[in-house]
């Protein structure tokens, strides 16, 4: 079936793309289109003009200075397979490798996954725990927005009209001497593959030589109107070993951090229990090395 | 040359389908062809206040917009009962009911025009539960009332056992429906020729149903409606009666415009509007002695038929007589109610009512086992039909050998021999369980549908000793072409590659009834054998002349005609056909098959609803993660009483497919409704298993009890599906030590069933 799209513009470079987006408030950027095309086809979203940003060279993945920088048009497949991502942000690599099916991963992009602002976006929790920022460009410049501040609600971001995510930057924060970086992601759904997360969870922390956790960051997907950090659970775990009593206390505290609803994919009660179980198990795995 | 029967020669349709050269309806286009779309009711029930079609007519490219008054013949679809209009006149009864039809030059214009119509509907009170629908004061779907019909079995009902049984279990099972999820959505192409005749090319299981439906809405003689089955991308019952509606839409538009019209459903509309496996409520009260020997069984079932009868009464007939399974029960009382609601349209789906009642009776058998304190396998062994006690639910005596016990033995042996999963790592979070389920499957159509149990074939031998075979039953992925080819090749002594079986065309064979009830190979094969028998009256004398023997001594095998008992005296069949051609001897023959008459009393439900039966036993081994409610089916052992294997790949494919499809029904597939509207009309949210969810499967195919089909074959399509979900249910309950009585077992259902026993439940207090 045809899409209700009047024009697809193909800018030659980023500058032209930004002008096109700035000039026409109805223009929407498209890269992989794996979310957008479905929404257009179902008339859930109106976008008479599309600006193709898939061929602007925005797909680089590289360490630049003390950050891992991933272009907005980098595909899930390239992120999942990138040695740099696997080294510095293994949870993100795991998440990217579990988005939809492999054909989807070969088209879907990181910028699109964030701009689509699904509460269940698989790359959001590992980016939240990594303290990532997005670079948003506009004709007269660019600004950096922490991923934490990017999401406003289901399907909405705090990007201004005409702003385009061009890259995502993950700081390379080294762990203290003798410590081990822990960076994990897990998603849950009723079948083994090709699922939209019913709950997803990312944990990033330093496991110190004395067996305690430091700089604990936890994020949860599909359990609130946006992907969220879990400060209550984080503070329970800070400075404590991941095993033992802290596990259950953290799972309990996590309930304060999330606000799931009943929807077609699962009831809120299930999401709460599942989030607790996922956190408990991740902590168990961390404590067992 | 290996004998074709039981072989693994390539399926004739495999390469064309895998390589993409098979042309489905969506690949067919004709010059001037128009595209159809449907103006569908967004809510139900409702009274139609007004229907302004001008907005649709105003869309550029639109060639025709039709309402109920524009149907040239009867404004009626519905295979059995005349209760369903092609186009609604005044009353909407289900979401998706058709209000008008559009034909336009592009599919986009057609669907845009259809969406431009905003019918004015006055909502009426609806009813959305089949039990509540029978309560006094419930809103009625049709003026005739919500109870369509009740089927019964009464055999020594209320006898001594019911009063005195020391062990009685009761349960109410709530069993969800299922979407067929065929790869190819509904579609057809209608090609009119003046206004006197029409050809329909349809994705369908039952071209003769389509022929009748199109003749009725166009007011044409049957002879003027030709239906060709297109390559059909899956059916599973979903293309049994429903394609008649699709074809009727396209045909009416084709006659109105005089142009070919193609109608292809969007997946969303297909999911909402087409038939589904019936959601059912099944109530049990069963009693046994202290050894677990059954004394009585009482079953009351409610089928949610939706707003129209469709095939629901026929589905209920099978559910009714399948209600107690393959067990010897002295006293039986079964009531099976067909009930109207404003929910989805209940219809045919692989198993035809039997999977639901099987899920229930196998759950009850496990309950009884626990109540009595014996092993679930042992309680079945004590109650299974055997050579000595072989009276079915309806009082039918089965001839020996009876393979129920053999199926149970073979399946449990295969399960015990399974050495563990290579894909599921050991984990402290997993609990393992094993479940067993059996089915007694009545082969072919129920007594009530026996008037349709017939089949036609045409065999045309070619001068080069190849053969054209025309059949009346369809290929929809199940392997009917392969089995027909195998039967013809075996009977003619030809290599299967020399036999071309063509998909049905109503202009080439007589009405052969529907391709349903696991009757494809059976009915097709016996009609082919009849045609070959008639051909050989002409072929054998010619071959005998060449061989210098009597006609009665001729046998056909390995591509030659030869003297029986003296295979060195042989002549190539090509030479025999050359001789027949030279002498202008007729090399075409028709074949016919019909099932034997039998006795069945509808009032008591006693008698012989089916001619023969097939048994099957599945054992499921599962790993359950109770904290997350996840079930991994690791292994299914399947033992089937198949009569005779015709094509080994086809039969194994049926069993594998049946198991995976049933696993989806048992664990994943939910039709979420809001007042009859489907909330998850996409494969993003209606989840079916993927390849990575499939279990390991072990099979035993038992050929010790010949059936009535060609070479003794029995149907496999439905028995391969029926026991799996029940076995999985029992395995999960075994792993968890609780009873769960609603299907599907989605993760939230399992977690809910654990209640406060869930190890994290206290966190939510």
Tell me which residue has tokens 């949610």: B304
CB contact, 8 Å: B161 with chain A? no
Tell me which residue has tokens 């089995």: B483
pLDDT, tens digit, 9 for 90 and up, residues B557-572: 999 999 999 999 999 9
- Asked whether residue A159 falls in the same domain as residue A186, the answer is no
CB-CB: which of A1, A266, A277 is closest to B627? A277
Is A120 domain-assigned? Answer: yes
- Asked whether residue B85 falls in the same domain as residue B194, the answer is yes
Task: Give the strand order in the sheet containing B120-123.
Answer: B91-92, B46-50, B120-123
Nearest residue to B356 (alpha-carbon basis) of B325, B379, B327, B386: B325
pLDDT, tens digit, 9 for 90 and up, residues B183-228: 999 999 999 999 899 999 999 999 999 999 999 999 999 999 999 9
Answer yes or no: is pLDDT of B423 > 70.
Answer: no
Interface touch B764/A272, C-beta < 8 Å: yes
Interface touch A273/B760, C-beta < 8 Å: yes
- Asked whether residue A167 falls in the same domain as residue A73, the answer is yes
Site from B623, B690, B763 to mutate, A interface, most A CB atoms within 10 angstroms: B763
Is A17 domain-assigned? Answer: yes
Give the count of domains, chain A. Answer: 3
Question: Could you tell me which chain A residue has the CA closest to the CA of B750?
Answer: A270
How many Cβ atoms sit within 10 Å of the Cβ of residue B725? 31
- Asked whether residue B557 falls in the same domain as residue B668, the answer is no
- Asked whether residue A229 falls in the same domain as residue A266, the answer is yes
Tell me which residue has tokens 């869309």: B59
- Domain end call among B216, B235, B264: B264
- Asked whether residue A153 falls in the same domain as residue A202, the answer is no
The token pair at A16 is 């032209």
Answer yes or no: is pLDDT of A1 > 60.
Answer: no
Distance CA(B676)–CA(B687), nearest Å, equals 19
Domain holding A225, by residue range, is 180-284
> What residues of B are in contact with residue A248 (Cβ under 8 Å)?
763
Is A289 domain-assigned? Answer: no
pLDDT, tens digit, 9 for 90 and up, residues A84-112: 999 999 999 999 999 999 999 999 999 99
Interface touch B111/A1, C-beta < 8 Å: yes
CATH number at residue A242: 3.30.390.50
CB contact, 8 Å: B693 with chain A? yes
Is A33 domain-assigned? Answer: yes
- Asked whether residue B521 falls in the same domain as residue B636, the answer is no
- Domain end call among A171, A201, A231: A171
- Asked whether residue B467 falls in the same domain as residue B568, the answer is yes
Give the count of domains, chain B. Answer: 3
Is B142 domain-assigned? Answer: no
Average pLDDT (B18-22) is 95
> What residues of B are in contact with residue A266 (Cβ under 8 Å)?
747-748
Is B104 domain-assigned? Answer: yes
- A146: phi then psi, degrees, rounded to nearest 5: -60, 140
Is B138 domain-assigned? Answer: no
- Asked whether residue A199 falls in the same domain as residue A277, the answer is yes
Interface touch A193/B692, C-beta < 8 Å: yes
Interface touch B748/A276, C-beta < 8 Å: no
Share of chain B above pLDDT 70, in %: 99
- Asked whether residue B74 falls in the same domain as residue B105, the answer is yes
CB-CB: which of B107, B668, B752 is closest to A190? B668
- Asked whether residue A203 falls in the same domain as residue A121, the answer is no
Is B164 domain-assigned? Answer: no
Nearest residue to B332 (alpha-carbon basis) of B600, B150, B153, B169: B153
Q: Where are the alpha helices (DSSP H) in B194-326?
A: 207-218, 242-257, 267-273, 312-321
Average pLDDT (B125-152) is 98
- Asked whether residue A165 falls in the same domain as residue A242, the answer is no
Q: For residue B389, what pLDDT band results from cuts at 50, 70 and 90?
A: confident
- Asked whether residue B498 falls in the same domain as residue B533, the answer is yes
Helix (H, G, I), strand (E, B) or coil at B292: coil
Q: Where are the alpha helices (DSSP H) in B462-572?
A: 480-492, 520-547
Average pLDDT (B336-341) is 98
Is B177 domain-assigned? Answer: no
ipTM: 0.95
Answer yes or no: is pLDDT of B421 > 80.
Answer: no
User: CA angle at residue A145 from A144 to A147, to 5 degrees?
Assistant: 135
Distance CA(B746)–CA(B445), nearest Å, equals 33
- Domain end call among B573, B594, B615: B594
pLDDT of residue B160: 67
Q: What is the mean pLDDT of chain B?
A: 96
- DSSP for B625-665 reads ETTTTEEEEEEEEEEEE-SS-SBHHHHHHHHHHHHHHHHHH
- Asked whether residue B60 falls in the same domain as residue B191, the answer is yes
pLDDT, tens digit, 9 for 90 and up, residues B686-739: 999 999 999 999 999 999 999 999 999 999 999 999 999 999 999 999 999 999
CATH number at residue B700: 3.30.365.10
pLDDT of residue B1: 63
Is A253 domain-assigned? Answer: yes
> What residues of B are in contact with residue A265 (Cβ under 8 Å)?
685
Is B552 domain-assigned? Answer: yes
Question: Could you tell me which chain B residue has the CA closest to the CA of A280?
Answer: B760
The Cα of B256 is separated from the nearest Cα of chain A by a number of Å equal to 24
pLDDT of residue B765: 75
- Asked whether residue A113 falls in the same domain as residue A213, the answer is no
- Asked whether residue A193 falls in the same domain as residue A148, the answer is no
Answer yes or no: is pLDDT of A215 > 80.
Answer: yes
Share of chain A above pLDDT 70, in %: 99
CB-CB: which of A42, A273, A278 is closest to B758? A273
Is B654 domain-assigned? Answer: yes
pLDDT of residue B729: 98
Domain holding B57, by residue range, is 32-124+186-264
pLDDT of residue A188: 97
- Asked whether residue B358 falls in the same domain as residue B298, the answer is yes
Answer yes or no: is pLDDT of B748 > 60.
Answer: yes
CATH number at residue B251: 3.90.1170.50
Average pLDDT (B424-437) is 91
pLDDT of residue B422: 67
CB-CB: which of B690, B748, B760 is closest to A193? B690
Distance CA(B396)–CA(B611), nearest Å, equals 10
Interface touch A267/B748, C-beta < 8 Å: yes
Q: Which residues pair with B46 in a beta bridge?
A: B92, B123
Answer yes or no: is pLDDT of B105 > 80.
Answer: yes
CATH number at residue A89: 3.30.465.10
Answer yes or no: is pLDDT of B259 > 60.
Answer: yes
- Asked whether residue B420 falls in the same domain as residue B569, the answer is no
pLDDT of residue A41: 87
Is A232 domain-assigned? Answer: yes
The Cα of A185 is separated from the nearest Cα of chain B by a number of Å equal to 16
- Asked whether residue B552 falls in the same domain as residue B609, the answer is no
- For B568-576, which contacts have Cβ atoms below 8 Å and span 24 or more sequence positions? B571/B543, B571/B546, B571/B547, B572/B465, B573/B465, B573/B492, B573/B493, B573/B494, B574/B464, B574/B465, B575/B546, B576/B465, B576/B539, B576/B542, B576/B543, B576/B546
- Asked whether residue A142 falls in the same domain as residue A218, the answer is no
CB-CB: which of B108, B111, B690 is closest to A191? B690
Is B115 domain-assigned? Answer: yes
Interface touch B266/A190, C-beta < 8 Å: no
Is A2 domain-assigned? Answer: no
- Asked whether residue B241 falls in the same domain as residue B95, the answer is yes
Tell me which residue has tokens 């489905």: B24
The single-letter DSSP state of residue B580 is H
- Asked whether residue B255 falls in the same domain as residue B342, the answer is no
Chains A and B form CB pairs within 8 A to the count of: 75
- Asked whether residue A43 falls in the same domain as residue A66, the answer is no
- Domain end call among A123, A140, A171: A171
């Amino acid at each position: 079936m045809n899409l209700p799209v009047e024009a697809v513009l193909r800018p030659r470079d980023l500058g032209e793309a930004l002008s096109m987006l700035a000039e026409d408030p109805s223009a929407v950027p498209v890269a992989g289109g794996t979310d957008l095309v479905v929404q257009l086809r179902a008339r859930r979203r109106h976008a008479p003009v599309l600006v193709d940003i898939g061929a602007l060279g925005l797909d680089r993945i590289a360490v630049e200075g003390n950050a891992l920088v991933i272009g907005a048009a980098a595909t899930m497949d390239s992120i999942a397979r990138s040695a740099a991502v696997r080294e510095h942000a293994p949870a993100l690599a795991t998440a990217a490798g579990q988005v939809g099916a492999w054909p989807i991963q070969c088209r879907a992009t990181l910028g699109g996954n964030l701009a689509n602002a699904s509460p269940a976006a698989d790359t959001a929790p590992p980016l939240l725990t990594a303290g990532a920022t997005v670079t948003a460009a506009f004709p007269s410049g660019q600004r950096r927005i922490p991923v934490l501040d990017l999401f406003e609600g289901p399907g909405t971001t705090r990007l201004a009209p005409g702003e385009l995510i061009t890259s995502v930057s993950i700081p390379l924060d080294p762990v203290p001497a003798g410590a081990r970086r822990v960076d994990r992601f897990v998603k849950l759904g009723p079948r083994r593959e090709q699922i939209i997360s019913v709950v997803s969870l990312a944990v990033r922390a330093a496991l110190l030589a004395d067996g305690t956790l430091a700089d604990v960051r936890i994020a949860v997907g599909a359990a609130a109107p946006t992907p969220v950090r879990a400060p209550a659970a984080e503070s329970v775990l800070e400075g404590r070993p991941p095993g033992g009593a802290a596990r259950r206390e953290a799972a309990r505290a996590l309930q304060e951090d999330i606000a799931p609803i009943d929807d077609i994919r699962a009831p809120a009660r299930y999401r709460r229990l599942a989030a607790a179980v996922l956190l408990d198990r991740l902590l168990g795995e961390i404590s067992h090395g | 040359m290996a004998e074709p029967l039981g072989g693994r020669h390539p399926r004739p349709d495999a390469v064309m389908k895998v390589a993409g050269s098979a042309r489905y309806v969506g690949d067919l286009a004709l010059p001037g062809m128009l595209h159809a779309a449907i103006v569908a009711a967004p809510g139900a029930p409702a009274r139609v206040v007004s229907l302004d079609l001008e907005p649709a007519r105003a869309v550029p490219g639109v060639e025709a917009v039709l309402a109920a008054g524009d149907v040239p013949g009867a404004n009626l679809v519905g295979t059995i009962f005349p209760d369903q209009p092609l186009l609604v006149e005044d009353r909407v009864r289900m979401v998706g009911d058709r209000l008008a039809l559009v034909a336009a030059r592009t599919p986009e214009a057609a669907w845009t025009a259809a969406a431009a119509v905003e019918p004015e509907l006055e909502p009426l009170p609806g009813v959305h539960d089949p039990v509540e629908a029978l309560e006094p004061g419930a809103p009625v779907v049709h003026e005739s009332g919500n109870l369509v019909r009740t089927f019964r079995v009464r055999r020594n009902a209320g006898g001594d056992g019911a009063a005195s049984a020391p062990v009685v279990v009761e349960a109410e099972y709530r069993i969800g429906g299922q979407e067929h999820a065929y790869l190819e959505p509904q579609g057809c192409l209608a090609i009119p020729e003046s206004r006197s005749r029409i050809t329909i090319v349809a994705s369908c299981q039952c071209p003769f149903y389509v022929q009748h439906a199109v003749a009725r809405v166009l007011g044409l003689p049957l002879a003027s409606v030709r239906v060709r089955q297109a390559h059909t991308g899956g059916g599973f019952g979903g293309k049994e009666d429903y394609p008649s509606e699709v074809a009727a839409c396209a045909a009416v538009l084709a006659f109105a415009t005089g142009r070919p019209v193609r109608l292809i459903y969007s997946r969303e509309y297909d999911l909402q509007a087409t038939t589904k496996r019936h959601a059912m409520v099944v109530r049990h009260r069963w009693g046994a002695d202290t050894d677990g020997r059954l004394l009585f069984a009482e079953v009351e079932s409610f089928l949610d038929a939706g707003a129209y009868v469709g095939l629901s009464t026929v589905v209920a007939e099978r559910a009714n007589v399948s209600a107690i399974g393959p067990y010897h029960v002295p006293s039986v009382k079964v009531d099976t109610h067909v009930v109207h609601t404003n929910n989805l349209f209940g219809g045919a789906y692989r198993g035809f009512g039997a999977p639901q009642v099987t899920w229930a009776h196998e759950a009850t058998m496990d309950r009884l086992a626990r109540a009595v304190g014996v092993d679930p396998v042992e309680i079945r062994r004590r109650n299974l039909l055997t050579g000595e006690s072989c009276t079915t639910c309806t009082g039918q005596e089965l001839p020996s050998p009876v393979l129920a016990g053999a199926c149970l033995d073979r399946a449990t042996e295969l399960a015990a021999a399974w050495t563990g999963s290579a894909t599921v790592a050991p984990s402290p979070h997993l609990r393992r369980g094993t479940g067993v389920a059996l089915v007694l499957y009545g082969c072919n159509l129920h007594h009530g549908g026996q008037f349709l149990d017939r089949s036609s074939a045409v065999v045309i031998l070619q001068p080069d000793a190849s053969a054209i075979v025309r059949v009346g039953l369809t290929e929809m992925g199940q392997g009917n072409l392969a089995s027909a080819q195998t039967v013809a090749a075996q009977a003619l002594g030809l290599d299967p590659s020399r036999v071309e079986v063509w998909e049905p065309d109503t202009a080439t064979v007589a009405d052969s009834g529907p391709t349903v009830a696991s009757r494809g190979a059976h009915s097709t094969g016996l009609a082919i054998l009849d045609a070959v028998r008639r051909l050989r009256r002409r072929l054998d004398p010619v071959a005998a002349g060449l061989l210098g023997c009597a006609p009665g001594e001729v046998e056909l095998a390995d591509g030659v005609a030869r003297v029986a008992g003296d295979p060195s005296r042989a002549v190539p069949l090509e030479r025999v056909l050359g001789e027949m051609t030279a002498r202008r001897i007729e090399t075409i023959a028709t074949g016919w098959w019909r099932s034997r008459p039998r006795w069945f009393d509808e009032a008591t439900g006693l008698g012989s609803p089916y001619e023969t039966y097939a048994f099957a036993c599945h054992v499921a081994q599962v790993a359950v993660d109770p904290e997350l409610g996840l079930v991994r089916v690791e292994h299914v052992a399947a033992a089937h009483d198949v009569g005779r294997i015709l094509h080994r790949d086809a039969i194994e494919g049926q069993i594998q497919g049946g198991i995976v499809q049933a696993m989806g029904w048992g664990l994943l597939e939910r039709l979420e409704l809001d007042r009859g509207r489907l909330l998850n009309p996409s494969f993003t949210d209606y989840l079916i298993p993927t390849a990575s969810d499939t279990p390991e499967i072990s099979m035993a195919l038992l050929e010790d009890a010949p059936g009535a089909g060609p070479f003794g074959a029995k149907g496999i399509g439905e028995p391969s599906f029926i026991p799996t979900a029940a076995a999985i249910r029992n395995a999960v309950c075994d792993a968890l030590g609780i009873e769960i009585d609603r299907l599907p077992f989605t993760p939230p259902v399992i977690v809910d069933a654990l209640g406060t026993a869930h190890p994290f439940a206290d966190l939510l207090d």
